[in-house]
Amino acid sequence: MGKVIAHSLFTDFDVDLFKSGKHYRLYKKFGSHITTVNGVEGTYFAVWAPSANQVSVVGDFNFWNDGEFKLNVRWDSSGIWEGFIPKIGKGNLYKYKIHSNNSGIVTEKADPYSRRNEHPPSTASVIWDDDYTWKDKKWMKNRKKNNALDAPYSVYEVHLGSWRRKMEEDRSLSYFELADELVSYVKEMNFTHVELMPIMEYPYDPSWGYQLTGYYAPTCRFGYPEEFKLLVDKLHQNGIGLILDWVPSHFPSDDHGLGFFDGSHLYEHPDRKKGYHPDWKSLIFNYERNEVRSFLISNAIYWLEQYHADGLRVDAVASMLFLDYSREDGEWEPNEYGGKENLAAISFLKELNEEVYKSFPDVQTIAEESTAFPMVSQPTFMGGLGFGMKWMMGWMHDTLKYFGKDPMFRSHHQNDITFSLAYAFTENFMLPLSHDEVVYGKNSILGRMPGDEWQRFANLRLLYGYMFTHPGTKLLFMGSEFGQYEEWDFQGSLDWNLLEFDPHKKTKAFYKDLNKFYKTNPALFEKGFSNEGFEWISLDDSQNSVISFIRKGNKEEENLVVVCNFTPAVIDSYKIGLPTENKLKEVFNSDKKKYGGSGITNSKLIKAEKDSWNGKPYSAEIKLSPLGITIFELK
């Protein structure tokens, strides 16, 4: 094994782009790359450490000795240290030993661009490459229509470590096992997409993956990088898209991570008012620094390009947008215009979305954003942030609040269930019932429902039916589809044994059918972000706690009439207004016995009469099932 040989993957143009924040494929340059120089195989290393006066590669190949393999600093003031070390390669462990210009500080860091890391609590990077051969050509060729804004989105949110476990071995499933079990389950349940809580490497299990240290490495908890590619590939081969949770908002201060990387505030903002997150005790990226912007945008592109992801759900966007987020007076400073907006973060998000959609027009970015910040999901050329969709947090809070009330009192809270339609088309909204709603004492979704057991399950089916007929795309956290009783436990497994019992088994059958109904009825998604796709019949019948509306697609003959009865009372004859003289045919009912309901349905065609009602020229009388949603075709 020889000394470091001068070698570079960077052109002058690469360096200029990096320094200006416009290099969006940095993973092809930085990190460790197995290559051959002068006929000798080895590994090229490159790391950004502008405040260093010495950077060495230490690893299992040299007993972690400092100073033996010193990288060379580039002459161009880029702060890039690089070099080729012969005869080391795939599987070797390594870190960077960085001697800082800052008062003799020495740090030992994992590679920010490593493709694989050691299993926590170990912290070294692993030299890695893979030659995985993708088999998802058909999906990739056609995915534009599957990921389009006028396509159905029913997303299954999954935490891989606790979805299902091998109880006898007390371990999570591997990527290889998930490629079989998770994929077949999601396909059986008719979901269109899977969203994975962060799978980038993270040191601390209770963070659920939201405190990242290995931004370019799928966590080794479940297997090798190529095995994660197999999981993605299998999803695609079965017609299922993949959305990855992505966290550009903050990162932990672990010694081996990005914090104080070269003895200076390199990745985090040096001003604590902008660089420290008080809620999560973590560090905030410096969006004002060009090289940091390039690091993050390159990372987003990496997962879309190298792992064929169909979308990125961007975590904690609200915390990025506002300088006063979770801060008291005196703990933040206004921007140059005297406002509270973080102008650098806003600029970064716009640049991110522009590059993503330029390079991958067939994917979506989705903002988890909880404020009224305007035009989050509008294009940047119109003044928006450029996301494809935004989580509808207001709908989620109001809906769960309403469903948590005893039906006896719902008549006094009609506005809670209808208010979301007042702003439903201001953004491209995704309706989330996510992991955040089933932890920290909030109870499971089923556990929030009032009444006896029958009523709780009927309420749950009604909630899901209302969710799927409300404008917007859908997201549900794992386990909620069969009525998980307990709150989510990241250390355990979903309670699959509940499916031995009828209420849970029938709830699962209901959700499976609901997904299929949603996917096969264009009126529920073709105009999901436009007020042209929705028309109220009645929103103010608070006395009966009933709402009714029409969902519309591109073809009038495919329109649907939806009626929700939020009380356990059966209404044998309920009058609704209709715009045309049609016959109503019931096509979906949450109260069917096969779903655990009472079997109150409309079995015959119902003819509309020329009798104005609800401000419409025609009307029909229908039967309403208890705590049920009834959906009709207009024949």
In the chain, where the domains are located: 12-126, 531-634
Helix (H) or strand (E) holding 540: strand 534-541
Predicted TM-score (pTM) of the model is 0.96
Q: Which residues are catalytic?
A: 315, 368
The per-residue pLDDT for 2 is 57
Quote the CA–CA distance of 375 and 97 in Å, as a whole number: 45
Q: What percent of the chain has a predicted confidence (pLDDT) above 70?
A: 100
Q: What is the rounded average pLDDT of the residues 281-308?
A: 98
The Cα 288–Cα 521 span in angstroms is 46
Assess whether pLDDT exceeds 70 at residue 570: yes
* Short-list 550, 559, 471, 463, CA closest to 511: 463
Residue with tokens 């009307």: 619
Label residue 19 exposed, middle or buried (CB < 10 Å: 0-12, 13-18, 19+).
Answer: middle
Q: What is the mean pLDDT of residues 108-134?
A: 97
Please give the pLDDT value at position 334: 95
Q: Which pLDDT band, with edges at 50, 70 and 90, does 103 fall under?
A: confident
From first CA to last CA, the distance across the chain in angstroms is 79
pLDDT over 90 for what percent of the chain?
97
pLDDT value at position 514? Answer: 98
Residues 114, 96: Cα–Cα separation, whole Å:
11
For residue 12, the model assigns a pLDDT of 96
Check pLDDT > 90 for residue 140: yes
CA torsion sign for 197, 277, 49, 346 is positive
Q: pLDDT at residue 495 above 70?
A: yes
- Reported as a single tens digit per residue, the pLDDT across 518-532 is 999 999 999 999 999
531-634: CATH class: mainly beta
pLDDT at 569 over 60: yes
335 burial via Cβ count (<10 Å: 0-12, 13-18, 19+) = middle
Predicted confidence (pLDDT) at residue 1 exceeds the cutoff of 80: no
Number of H helices, E strands in the chain: 12, 31
Q: What type of residue is 186?
A: V
Q: What is the mean pLDDT of residues 561-571?
A: 98
Rounded mean pLDDT, 144-148: 96
d(CA 85, CA 470): 59
- Average pLDDT over every residue of 57-63: 97
> 337 in the Ramachandran plot: left (φ > 0), alpha (ψ -120 to 50) or beta?
alpha
Question: What number does CATH give the domain 12-126?
Answer: 2.60.40.10
Residue 454 DSSP code: H
Check pLDDT > 60 for residue 504: yes
Please state, in angstroms and as integers, the Cα–Cα distance from residue 461 to each residue in 158, 283, 571, following that order: 21, 41, 18
Q: How many CB atoms lie within 10 A of CB 554?
A: 12
pLDDT tens for each residue of 313-344: 999 999 999 999 999 999 999 999 999 999 99
According to the model, what pLDDT value does residue 635 have? Answer: 83
Same fold, 12-126 and 531-634: yes
